[in-house]
Amino acid sequence: MDCDAFFAAVEKRDDPSLASRPVIVGGGKRGVVSTCCYIARSYGVRSAMPMFQALKACPEAVVLRPRMDAYVREARRIRSLLHELTPLVETVSIDEAYLDLSGTQRLHKASPARLMMELQARIELEMGLTVSIGIASNRFLAKLASEADKPRGFYALSELEAPRWLAGRPVSVIGGVGKTLTARLAEEGCVRIADLQAMSRETLMRRHGEMGRRLHERAWGRDATPITPGGDRRSVSSETTFGQDTADPSFLEDALYGLCEQTSARAKAHGVEGRVVTLKLKTARFQTVTRRRTLHSPTQLSRILFQTCLHLLQAEPRAVRYRLIGVGLSDLSPAGDDRLDLAEPASLKRAAAERAADAVRSRFGSGSATTGRGMRLRSRKSTT
């Protein structure tokens, strides 16, 4: 299940005046596109495109700052509907998930196809959002099927028809086949999956090792990777590119605070916590600086992320001007209960306060509970 242009769809639902307009969700003029609606895509706008290129392609687009609280809230609602169908739900991003529906037919008295059709209709009716569904015997085929008829797509693909269906597609649709491997395969005469199908597994493994075995399996539509509840995310992160290079400590700290809130919200949405906190900076000369700190115990709390990143930021030279700042959380594990920090006796109370604020924002909106620094950050954004 893959939501259709999720961030932009939430914005259009919440503001009907945007319904017929091209919408881009992302940073300022020097940032990148987080996502865009299908109208904007018709102009050539794509996710991860630099914002100046997106606006050149579609100058009439409405550009909106991401509202992570709203997106996380809707993602949680969708995930709760998924878990009504099966406990085997693997979330791979805030708006995409795999479901293993094996054995659910007797429980729900309906086929997997019927269950997913009803789910798709329910999400649209109750939430005003559309999703695309791909049904297949394994996750590789299900992923491709979900992309076959977007938006509001519904595509079922059998393992028997998969080899012929795959044959004309580029080798890059196979996970792990990036630009470098695509170029290398092209040199070997493999441009389409049909070219891989014409080669033996032994030949592919001799040329590409273990990846060769994967190429052979995927070319014939086979994938034994199980659905793992909780997923296998390696990290969660957020970053922003400033409208102007800056060395202002107050501005940098406020931006850092907002990114820690976003990263925390993403970790909470995915039900994970992490032990390694990363601060990323890019200077005005495009030099990337990365600083990491390993915590005594994993966390998903924005307060701890901010405290940790603030120490890392304050250790950097004050005169340097930066164009980008980012926050990452890695070495992830399933989230557990908040832990008492012996060096901070009030840590559990502060964690409870953050959880309470999360609950208020989830119910009443992102601006319903914030701190003084959060208010200042929103004030900065409203004037830029």
Q: Give the residue numbers marked as catalytic.
A: 96
240's CB contacts (< 8 A; 6+ apart) are: 27, 31, 255, 258, 259, 324, 325, 326
Dig out the tokens for 154 from the structure: 């519904």
Beta bridge partners of 33: 26
Closest CA to 79 of 222, 269, 258: 269
Task: Supply 127's token pair.
Answer: 């939430």
Query: In this structure, what are the phi and psi dihedrals at residue 83, rounded to the nearest 5 degrees?
Result: -70, -15
Whole-angstrom distance, CA of residue 300 vs CA of residue 332: 10
114 contacts: CB under 8 Å, gap ≥ 6: none
Query: What type of residue sits at position 368?
Result: S
Sheet holding 23-26, edge to edge: 33-36, 23-26, 62-64
**Cα–Cα–Cα angle for 12, 15, 16, nearest 5°?**
75
| Beta-carbon contacts of residue 143 (< 8 Å; ≥ 6 apart) | 98, 134, 175
- In the 8-state DSSP scheme, what is residue 327? E
331 phi/psi in degrees, rounded to 5 = 55, 55
φ, ψ dihedrals at 129, nearest 5°? -125, 150
The b-or-e profile of 134-163 (16+ CB within 10 A means b, else e) is bbbbbbbbbbbbbeeebeebbbbbeeeebe
Q: Which two tokens stand for residue 211?
A: 């990846």
**Which amino acid makes up residue 329?**
L
- CA distances 289 to 50, 243, 368, Å, are 21, 19, 35
- Structural tokens at position 384: 């830029």
Strand partners, 239: 326
8 A C-beta contact, residue 292 and residue 276: yes
